[in-house]
Amino acid sequence: MAPASHSPQNTPEEQGRGALRQPSEPAAPTLLGLVMHVADAAHGLRTRLANATGFVPTIIAYPGYGSTSWVRVLARVVLISKPTAATGKVRGWRAFTSVPVPNSEVEVEIDGVVHTVRADSGGLVDVVVNASLEPGWHTVSLRSEGTVPAEASIFIVAPDTTFGIVSDIDDTVMVTALPRPFLALWNTLVLSERARTPTPGMAVLLDRLIDEHPAAPVLYLSTGPWNVAPALARFLERNLYPKGVLLLTDWGPTRQRWFRSGQEHKSNNLRRLAQEFPDIQWLLVGDDGQHDPEIYADFARAHAPQTAAIAIRELSTGEALLAGRRAHEDGPASRHGGAIWASAPDGAGLAKQLKDHGFL
């Protein structure tokens, strides 16, 4: 027999106030709930307009990574204009006109085996599937109803790999010199990847590290939105940065909070990498314009055996002010869990220090 249900009783304080709200009354909607309701309505309107103006469902596949027994697949399912879909690329402002297709069913084919997965409410596919692949780069196929199949590159980490690289993007491998609130809009709506400026010496530094550690996975961990992933990938390729995996995020409110936390995004992915590859020591590359030193120091304290070194690019006075931090303020070098700490204004300076520690 099912237990009898009991309705909660008003507290004495509520009774004394005349029980202003009965237990049966629905809770008052929060302001965040109202914002999410408006956001859902706006998304519905955008979807109807996109369908009415000939937008087509498209899979935008991103590089992924994995081990010899599993693969992390990353992609987005969106509605985009037909000319863009025909070229297979999303450029400039069009990246922000695409409309996510939530909860889409996606088939991922890996080495002849098909896995059926589902995108999240933002159209993002971020799933781990079982697969048996040899170390190195592979290509997997993704398709969804009404879409042209897309291909994603997947880097499989060899079981005996002991060194990897995680690098920030903005102000680390790319000079932005803009106030952070305007950064994504400017880089996405105005500049093409041809007009962006690489940080002096950083491409050479990362390339030398890969020459020294050819099996090392390279992950570019940024708080930028997935919309800019194609442009960032083209920038990295054009400026001869090592081929790697982008780990970006979504912007805007969630059901729990007003804004997604960039610091939390970075910290969570670092912890995930530590769990996925317990035998790898990571070189963490960032800049001192925002929170990279603190995030990396926290990781080093919590995962000292998995931290090879921390390399921080020092911003100029002007860059630091635009990024929202005073230039060269004291960092957490004395409390980073004993990890090797390098800092310099460019890749050449970092390379010299890392060479002194045996990484080059």
Q: What is the CATH number of the domain that holds 68?
A: 2.60.40
Work out the pLDDT band at 135, boundaries 50, 70, 90: very high
Nearest to 328 by CA among 269, 288, 284, 279: 288
Domain boundary among 137, 156, 175: 156
Region for 337 from its dihedrals, namely left if φ exceeds 0, alpha if ψ lies in -120 to 50, beta otherwise: left
Same domain for 249 and 152, yes or no, is no
Tokens at 56, concatenated: 């087509």
44 within domain boundaries: no
Same domain for 307 and 205, yes or no, is yes
29 within domain boundaries: no
Q: What is the 3-state secondary structure (H, E, C) of 205-265?
A: HHHHHHHHCCCCCEEEEEEEEHHHHHHHHHHHHHCCCCCCEEEEECCCCCCCCCCCCHHHH
Range of the domain at 266: 163-356
CB 342 within 8 A of CB 357: yes
Same domain for 130 and 264, yes or no, is no
21 within domain boundaries: no
Residue 28 in this model has a pLDDT that exceeds 90: no
Domain boundary among 105, 137, 156: 156
Work out the pLDDT band at 335, boundaries 50, 70, 90: low
Same domain for 229 and 269, yes or no, is yes
Same domain for 110 and 143, yes or no, is yes
Same domain for 146 and 208, yes or no, is no
pLDDT at residue number 265? 92
46 within domain boundaries: no
Same domain for 204 and 333, yes or no, is yes
286 within domain boundaries: yes
230 within domain boundaries: yes
Same domain for 143 and 190, yes or no, is no
Same domain for 130 and 241, yes or no, is no
13 within domain boundaries: no
> How far, in Å, are 197, 200, 209 from residue 174 at the CA level?
6, 9, 18
pTM: 0.79
Residue 142 in this model has a pLDDT that exceeds 60: yes
Average pLDDT estimate for 268-286: 98
Q: How many domains does the chain have?
A: 2
Same domain for 179 and 228, yes or no, is yes
- The 3-state DSSP class for residue 67 equals coil
Same domain for 225 and 319, yes or no, is yes
pLDDT at residue number 170? 87
Average pLDDT estimate for 20-26: 42
pLDDT at residue number 88? 47
CB 134 within 8 A of CB 156: yes
33 within domain boundaries: no
Domain boundary among 156, 188, 206: 156
Average pLDDT estimate for 145-157: 94
pLDDT at residue number 121? 84
C-alpha dihedral, 283 to 287 to 293 to 298, nearest 10°: -50
Same domain for 140 and 182, yes or no, is no
Using one digit for the tens of pLDDT, what is the confidence trace for 50-88?
555 557 788 999 999 999 999 999 999 988 876 444 444
- Output 280 or 145, whichever has higher pLDDT: 280
